[in-house]
Amino acid sequence: MSDVKNTIAAGKAILGIEFGSTRIKAVLVDENNAPIASGAHDWENRLENGVWTYTLEDIWTGLQDCYKKLTEDVQQQYGAVIEKLAGIGFSAMMHGYLAFDKEGKLLVPFRTWRNTITQEASEALTEAFQFHIPQRWSIAHLYQAILNGEEHVPNVDFFTTLDGYIHWQLTGEKVLGVGSASGMFPIDPSTKNYYTSMIQKFDELVAPKGYSWKVADLLPKVLVAGDAAGVLTAEGAKLLDPTGTLQAGCPLCPPEGDAGTGMVATNSVKQRTGNVSAGTSVFSMIVLEKELQKYYDEIDMVTTPSGDLVAMAHCNNCTSDLNAWVNIFKEFAESFGMEVDMNKLFGTLYNKALEGDKDCGGLLAYNYFSGEHITGFEEGRPMFVRTPNTRFNLANFMRTHLCTSLGALKVGNDILMKEEKVAVDRITGHGGLFKTKGVGQSILAAALNAPVSVMKTAGEGGAWGIALLASYMVQKDEGEKLEDYLQNKVFGGDEGEKMEPNPEDVAGFDEFIKLYKAGFPIERAAVDCMK
């Protein structure tokens, strides 16, 4: 306790803050990268004039409250006050659109990653670049504004992401970590900067409009992990801590997106490693050894915070339908007057799935609460289907719903593993799907035919991940790579509890996914008929 208090008093602690979609979280770490205090602020985006947004007031009041809660935690635990810090890092949900004029005035309300209002731009840029540009990417938002003829476009002087905006306000530096930048505009892994050919192509596309700007002048400067990204200004210190207690001058690492901090927090930044985040939605990030042979609409290409190429398969649906069925069993038990322990209920039902047939006995389910881009659905209808002669029992029923929660993810990853022959040595799983020991882990290992590890520290999340990036900038040895720093000085070689794929499970999941794909017309009919 006294050691931690001395670390804080000496200004040697490091702060990471991440803006998630529903929570802003701050984590303070000591010189050994162990979390010593935290703070959080809950917030929600709002739908205004058809656009999902947060106001600037939401951003700053949320940040200040989050930091205040952190200082209160420090005071309560250690009787200490934060006056100086050794480093700070900011992270946020990736993508979106924050556009500013020459005076630094926000031109239109913040358009978040959640918006699906850029389909025309997404398709046009994908065709022009021969590189998949998802709707949520910042360049798609800018180009859609151009196609719409929006009045603000000629006045754009700078556009960035949420983490880039906060960093700019606190340091005066218009920069972005390469991982976050890769969600704004495609990154060339050989230069770790924006693709010059695509920059030129974009300028050619918009040349007839006669704008005074070139797109390269509007984008943030790209930095990689370990680069110095500016220092906390006096104005910035006051923005973060209105009490004036926090001193200016602290170095900041490049701001990063939540995908990058998730990779760091799960020690998944090395080539041939990856991570899967599985909760309400699910996505996988696989660090590649080389570029893919072609682009795929199902796969987003981003980078690690060091600029290595990452293939991302992002799916909108994972555990919502699974949870809904578990709640049906809860309601059934309560109807008999039983008191239900939800952890025990989840554990019992999940483990029951391990007794099921490897191919789920011919049962079929879709967990589509919303549309699923990877499988071509703009809307979803959760459903369960079987034939009269399938092996309908509880074990197969639960296994079906666990497998379908990873169905779309497998479709995306089969492109990487089977068509592109991408090699993976280790996948780290994190999120609610993995809470019941060994179950979600074994299903994911079967889906991806790769070893899956689950770490206790993965629960610390992206705020810890960005704190580690700030720590790396401050503490790294000359020439020390990020993956080596994480492996040797943070995780100490700990790869968590590892599970190899069972060949019979793999074969069974492959059979299930054949039925899953064959059944798409059933899901399509449900979307068309059930309005």
What integer is the mean pLDDT of 267-271? Answer: 95
Q: Note whether 418 and 344 are same-domain residues.
A: yes
Q: Which is more confidently placed, 316 or 30? A: 30
Q: Note whether 412 and 355 are same-domain residues.
A: yes
Final residue belonging to a domain, choices 205, 228, 257: 257
Q: Note whether 408 and 517 are same-domain residues.
A: yes
Answer whether residue 262 is part of any domain: no
Residue-wise pLDDT tens digits, 70-114: 999 999 999 999 999 999 999 999 999 999 999 999 999 999 988
Residue 494 has a pLDDT of 74
Final residue belonging to a domain, choices 257, 275, 305: 257
Q: Note whether 307 and 407 are same-domain residues.
A: yes
Residue 122 has a pLDDT of 96
Question: Given pLDDT bands bounded at 50, 70 and 90, which one contains residue 492?
Answer: confident
Q: Note whether 228 and 297 are same-domain residues.
A: no
Answer whether residue 111 is part of any domain: yes
Query: 139 near 124, Cβ under 8 Å?
Result: no
Q: Note whether 201 and 53 are same-domain residues.
A: yes
CATH number for the domain spanning 18: value is: 3.30.420.40
What integer is the mean pLDDT of 135-141? Answer: 96
Answer whether residue 247 is part of any domain: yes
Compute the 3-state secondary structure of the chain and give helix, strand, coil in percent, each to the nearest 5: 45, 20, 40
Final residue belonging to a domain, choices 200, 230, 257: 257
Q: Note whether 281 and 401 are same-domain residues.
A: yes
Query: 274 near 268, Cβ under 8 Å?
Result: yes
Is the Cα dihedral 114, 115, 119, 124 positive or negative? negative
Range of the domain at 516: 267-455+495-531
Q: Note whether 338 and 357 are same-domain residues.
A: yes
d(CA 107, CA 74): 38
d(CA 432, CA 427): 16
Question: Given pLDDT bands bounded at 50, 70 and 90, which one contains residue 460?
Answer: low
What integer is the mean pLDDT of 343-364? Answer: 97
Q: Note whether 164 and 243 are same-domain residues.
A: yes
Residue-wise pLDDT tens digits, 377-432: 989 999 999 999 999 999 999 999 999 999 999 999 999 999 999 999 999 998 88
Q: Is the pLDDT of residue 455 over 90?
A: no
Question: Given pLDDT bands bounded at 50, 70 and 90, which one contains residue 459?
Answer: low
Q: Note whether 111 and 14 are same-domain residues.
A: yes
Answer whether residue 37 is part of any domain: yes
Q: Where are the beta strands (DSSP E) in 30-84?
A: 35-42, 46-48, 51-53
Answer whether residue 175 is part of any domain: yes
* Structural element, H or E, at residue 524: helix 520-529
- How confident is the prediction for the chain on average, in pLDDT? 95
Residue-wise pLDDT tens digits, 145-203: 999 999 999 999 999 999 999 999 999 999 999 999 999 999 999 999 999 999 999 99
Answer whether residue 468 is part of any domain: no
Residue 431 has a pLDDT of 82
Answer whether residue 487 is part of any domain: no
Residue 378 has a pLDDT of 87
| CB atoms closer than 10 angstroms to residue 42 | 12
Query: 109 near 53, Cβ under 8 Å?
Result: yes
How many separate domains does the chain show? 2
d(CA 399, CA 357): 8
Residue-wise pLDDT tens digits, 1-21: 789 999 999 999 999 999 998
Phi, psi of 348 (to 5 degrees): -65, -50
**Per the confidence metrics, is the pTM higher than 0.85?**
yes
Residue 457 has a pLDDT of 59
Q: Note whether 131 and 57 are same-domain residues.
A: yes
Answer whether residue 86 is part of any domain: yes
Query: 118 near 140, Cβ under 8 Å?
Result: yes
Q: Note whether 502 and 432 are same-domain residues.
A: yes
d(CA 202, CA 215): 7
